[in-house]
A = this chain, B = another copy of it.
Amino acid sequence: MTIKQIILNANDYDGQKISISGWIFSLRGNLNIKFLELNDGSTVANLQVVLKKENIDLEIVDKAREGASISITGLLKYTPDAKQSVELHAISFELLKNTDEDFPIQKKEISMEVLREIPHLRHRTRLIKAVMLIRSTLALEIHNFFAKNNFLYVSSPIITSNDGEGAGETFVVDDESKEHFFGKKATLGVTGQLHAEAYAIGMQKVYTFAPTFRAEKSHTKKHAAEFWMVEPEVAFYKLNDIILLADQMLKEVISKTLVVNKLEFDFLEKNYDSNLREKLNLFLNKKLSIIDYKQAIEELKKVKDTFEEKNIEFGLDLATEHEKYLAEKLFNGPVAVINYPKDFKAFYMYQNDDNKTVAAFDLLVPGIGELIGGSQRESRYDKLLNRINELSIPADDLKWYLDLRRFGDSGSAGFGLGFERLIMYVTGVDNIRDVIPFPRTPNNLKM
């Protein structure tokens, strides 16, 4: 039995004798009675334990510090009208392992910067605990969503001789001898998409969910060198189908997580962002809007004076402030911008008949901007090869990928969701370093 179960169903446990192990979150009281907040990791919420002198040796309790692991047996009392609606009245108390005095996690607030120095301990604060519980649920609900919709989970490779986007900084991998373990240059994958495409032809609906890597020396709140990506790919899908899938996946995953992690959202709303659920519900309840890139540019031009970046022309990529305007002001909800100019999109995207744009989409949400990017893929061999040549990408490396188009590939579509960006959106935490257990950024590799 977990503290999460006890708190959510306190009525069922009223009067029962319960044994529970966990860690002390806080301890206060006097010589006759102590109040201990116990956490067992199942939820960010703590169970209040009442320890009285007549039942428990309070001198032993007094030795226990915050963070110590303990085991308690007691009687559960459910008093729905009291300030503490659930309490465990201790019958026995065992101090399993104390913390040394220099245990850095204390009940008082510690700055996120300091916590990033101790990624092996910071999940013992309430904020990181809540975030990691939500992270875990989001991951599971993503798997569940795809399983329910008949998707195959594909392990795209991590070490690759292939460079997904044909651009971007990659990490190089070799063994200690530097003698090319694989007989050729090997890098860490920046995407699983190309490999997922191969599997979509034949398996139809597939997705990857794996770590990906960028060796970019960027120090923003949004970028990390190692992060997890969710990349579905579906044969026979066109642009509209894949946009619909993205919207459906986000809504289902988020709404289920709101239920499973009720106590964590209670905590986040109380302490960090009182509008968190309101923001998420706005997203859940609003039908996805779709706007053509060309039309979006016209709309942005109308209000160009409100932006720092006033250079708004067909052919230019949108800045985050532009994306936010579209989602927050123009549509006040999620919006998919479609049919971007091909010049700033990847080589594999389906070329529209206008010869200028590709069948790509970015899904923008209020508060964060781009959450998902995707496209219908170019399934016409000649058009794909021409684009590869135009961009001077070595076609030899992509021969296998081109060959898919010769072997029954009538088209597919897919998208990429940066998993940590989803967690940031759902929790309201604004730095990627705080939503992944052991963040990796330039000059930062702890443990």
Measuring CB to CB, which residues of chain A are less than 8 angstroms from any residue of chain B? 2, 4, 21-23, 39-42, 67-69, 71, 96-100, 102-103, 105, 118-121, 123-124, 129, 132-133, 135-136, 139-140, 143-144, 147, 150, 152-162, 169-176, 178, 181-184, 186, 188, 194-195, 198-199, 201-205, 210-211, 213, 215, 217, 225-226, 228, 235-236, 379, 400-401, 403-404, 406-411, 436-438, 440, 442-447
Instruction: State which of B22, B144, B182, B409 has its C-beta within 8 Å of the C-beta of A97.
Output: B409
Q: How far is the CA of A174 from the CA of B228 in the complex (A)?
A: 19
Q: A440-B157, A445-B159 known; A121 and B211 CB under 8 Å?
A: no
CB contact under 8 A between A447 and B99, given known A195-B437, A408-B68: no
* Contact A183/B443 with A69-B235, A171-B173, A198-B121 known, Cβ cut-off 8 Å: yes
| Complex Cα–Cα for A155 and B439 (A) | 10
A154 and B121 CA atoms in complex are apart in Å by 14
Inter-chain contact A160/B408, CB cutoff 8 Å: no
Q: What is the CA–CA distance of A418 and B262 in the complex, to the nearest angstrom?
A: 34
- Residue pair B181, A217 in contact (C-beta under 8 Å): yes
Residue of B nearest to A203 (CB): B41
Q: Which one of B4, B102, B215, B406 contacts A99 once the chains associate, using CB atoms below 8 Å?
A: B406
Closest chain B residue, CB of each to CB of A40: B204
Cα A246 to Cα B149 with chains together (Å): 29
Q: Can you list 25 A-B pairs, Cβ within 8 angstroms, ordered by A?
A: A21-B204, A21-B235, A21-B236, A23-B202, A41-B235, A67-B407, A67-B408, A96-B236, A99-B408, A100-B407, A119-B198, A123-B203, A132-B154, A155-B211, A157-B440, A159-B445, A170-B176, A172-B173, A172-B176, A175-B215, A181-B225, A195-B437, A195-B438, A400-B446, A400-B447
Is A132 a contact partner of B408 (Cβ separation < 8 A)?
no
A218, chain B: closest CB distance, angstroms: 12
Contact of A447 among B40, B154, B195, B406 (CB under 8 A): B195
Contacts of A445 in B (CB 8 A): 159-161, 182-184, 186
Contact in complex: B407, A103 (CB < 8 Å): yes
- CB of A198, distance to nearest CB on chain B (Å): 4
Whether B99 and A407, one on each chain, are in contact in the complex, defined by CB atoms closer than 8 angstroms, is yes
**In the complex with contacts A153-B140, A162-B447, A443-B182, A202-B124 CB distance below 8 A:** yes
Question: Is B152 within 8 A of A133, CB to CB?
Answer: yes
Query: Is B154 within 8 A of A136, CB to CB?
Result: yes
Q: Which chain B residue has the least Cβ–Cβ distance from A67?
A: B408
Closest to A118 in B: B400
A181 touches B174 (CB 8 A): no
